[in-house]
Amino acid sequence: MTEQGTPGSGAGKAPEPSGVDLARVALRAAREAARARGDAAQQRKQVRRGGLRSGARADRRDPMALGPAISRLLSERGWEAPAAVGGVMGRWPEIVGEDVAKHCEPERYDEDERVLVVRCDSTAWATNLRLLAPTLVARLNEDLGHGTVRLIKVVGPGGPVRRFGPLRAPGSTGPGDTYG
């Protein structure tokens, strides 16, 4: 017999892979299995959409603190002026002073007309606030931005609710209906 035919010689077989060659074979097999499952295609889609993770630099997907997140929401929706005026309503005593704040309170803000409506608990305080209105508009616009509040409409106290009773005529508006 020749040496080629002996079982222990190994001359007719290809050498068995070892070391780096084994790693290459294993990597090739893993890649083929991944392609078969579709994982590679999914990763390519994610890379095209912005990557698998955000990386070292900040981007829009990173978590934000609450303050900047709310500021971004307000600016995206165009709610800066109403939110600022809402803040003024919360800080009303600081802006006008404690004495005025006890008797006058902001009721609503009309964003289209840029008018702040303030209700006072007496006609005397309503007159006082009407005299202070230009100064107050200037102070509010310094705080909120130029032109946010154009006018302050001062409303006096509301009258009593008129109810029908045994001594009232239907359709009567009270003592004023006989004068006009």
180 vs 13, higher pLDDT: 13
Answer yes or no: are the C-beta atoms of 126 and 153 closer than 8 Å.
no
**b/e code 162-171 from CB counts within 10 Å (16+ = b):** eeeeeeeeee
- For range 131-137, the mean pLDDT: 90
- For range 152-171, the mean pLDDT: 73
Report the half-sphere exposure of 163 (CA within 13 A, side-chain side): 4
Average pLDDT, the chain: 75
Q: Give the model's confidence band at 5: pLDDT under 50 very low, under 70 low, under 90 confident, else very high.
A: very low
Give me the DSSP letters along 13-41: SPPPP-THHHHHHHHHHHHHHHHHHTHHH
Q: Give the model's confidence band at 58: pLDDT under 50 very low, under 70 low, under 90 confident, else very high.
A: confident
Answer yes or no: are the C-beta atoms of 52 and 43 closer than 8 Å.
yes
What pLDDT is recorded for position 41? 65
